[in-house]
Amino acid sequence: MMTRRERLRRCFCHEELDRPGVYARDGFPADDPTYDRLKAYLKEHTELKRGWWPGRLTPPAPAEQHSEPVSRDWKRLVTLVHTPAGDLRSTYLASLKGQPGMSETYLLKDRSDAEKYLSLPVHEPAGDVSSFADAEKEIGEAGIVDADLGSNPAGAVAALCGSETFAIMSITDRDALHALCEREMQVLLKRVGFLLERRIGPYFSICGEEYIVPPLHGPRDFWDFNVRYDKPVFDLIHEAGARVHVHCHASMKKVLAGFIEMGVDVLHPFEAPPMGDITPQEAKAMARGKLCLEGNIQIADMYEGTPDDVREQTRALIETCFDDRRGLIVSPTASPYIRGAGEQCFPQYKAMIDAVLEWKP
């Protein structure tokens, strides 16, 4: 029997396994004791990945923020970012009654704003990363420490623009988007280099690719903005003997080859219709020997399905995606998310986990 740490190492390195990995994302509702039993079961029986965030490492752009009244339910948070070429402004609606907030306007609205943002200096990273060693010691053989890189370059730019403006500028001002992505890639390359020099790793995670995927963007944009600017970062990681995990919801069929081309080692998730457009059979055929698939039990089934349903889904997934004894981490498609429903989903999570642990070749 492999340790849980060794099993994950083999998943990331596309090596043969004794059984599939099994993992659950852990973004639980805060301060919700109904999930305590599930947390304990995950800790005891699944491969663990402890997220580690190194902090900003570079100073933020000079900015100021103030609030404005909107209604009895909402207030507006106004952020002004000061750049050498002029100020940028964004607004956010914050609930006064505990509801989720939402972005109202974004920092970058047009080419002029892009040019202002590009005037910001790119700083060298600095900071204390000694807490990584503590995280490694704490996880031990139960799993790995996953160094979080934040967003990929194109995802960072899309977050500055908002999806609508990014889509419009991909037609009207594509060169400006490329300049922004190039800048964010340089920031990320410096960040990764700083971490690697300090022996952080070998496991890194990144997200943001899902901003530029079907159906909002076509394959051309995926290759032009995601693959082009992610691959140099992932190459740097691989040159150091390290590995990278990507989280991306999307319709994957037309772009999975791009994830393989850019060098992703583990991809989560790979959703079949109706949530996505690729079946496990299709995903495995493309990923075989090149990329480890992490998924793919729909999170809704953990709340709305039955233990028998989830058990059969898990067994079918293993049969389809683990015939070569490698490249599969069974996992829900998202973190538990319904407040107060921890006991409701526990039997389904247990069925998924037990089905993996009971698997025999």
- Convert the pLDDT of each residue in 282-296 to its tens digit: 999 999 999 999 999
CB 130 within 8 A of CB 199: no
For domain 4-59+123-357, give its CATH number from 3.20.20.210, 3.90.800.10, 3.90.660.10, 3.40.50.2000: 3.20.20.210
Whether the CA torsion 173, 178, 179, 184 is positive or negative: it is: positive
Q: Quote helix, strand, coil % in the chain, to nearest 5.
A: 45, 20, 35
CB 150 within 8 A of CB 58: no
Is the per-residue pLDDT at 174 higher than 90?
Answer: yes
Band of the pLDDT at 28, cuts 50, 70, 90?
A: very high
CB 146 within 8 A of CB 205: yes
Query: In this structure, what are the phi and psi dihedrals at residue 271, rounded to the nearest 5 degrees?
Result: -85, 135
Minimal CA–CA distance to 327: which of 25, 48, 4, 10?
A: 10
Minimal CA–CA distance to 229: which of 175, 169, 182?
A: 182
Give residues with Cβ within 8 angstroms of 34, minimum separation 6: 340, 341, 342, 343
Pairing between β-strand 203-207 and β-strand 143-151 as defined by DSSP bridges:
parallel
Query: In this structure, what are the phi and psi dihedrals at residue 123, rounded to the nearest 5 degrees?
Result: -90, 155
Residues 6-16, mean pLDDT to the nearest whole number: 98
Domain ranges (residues) in the chain: 4-59+123-357, 60-105
CB 99 within 8 A of CB 24: no
Is the per-residue pLDDT at 176 higher than 90?
Answer: yes
> How many alpha carbons fall within 13 Å on the CB side of residue 315?
12
- Convert the pLDDT of each residue in 317-350 to its tens digit: 999 999 999 999 999 999 999 999 999 999 999 9
Instruction: Give me the residues paired with residue 82 across strands.
Output: 87
- Convert the pLDDT of each residue in 182-208 to its tens digit: 999 999 999 999 999 999 999 999 999
Q: How far apart are CA 185 and CA 123, in angstroms?
A: 13
- Convert the pLDDT of each residue in 94-128 to its tens digit: 999 988 899 999 999 999 999 999 999 999 999 99
> How many alpha carbons fall within 13 Å on the CB side of residue 154?
24
Q: Which residues of 199-218 are buried (b: 16+ CB within 10 A; e: fewer)?
A: ebbbbbbbbbbbbbbbebbe
> In the structure encoding, which two tokens stand for residue 296, read together?
């793919």
Residues 17-46, mean pLDDT to the nearest whole number: 97
Give me the sheet containing 102-105, strands edge to edge. 63-69, 74-83, 86-95, 102-105
**CA torsion 261→147→238→213, rounded to 10°?**
10
Residue 329 burial by Cβ neighbours in a 10 Å radius (0-12, 13-18, 19+) = buried
Q: How far apart are CA 238 and CA 12, in angstroms?
A: 11
CB 267 within 8 A of CB 293: yes
Is the per-residue pLDDT at 1 higher than 90?
Answer: no
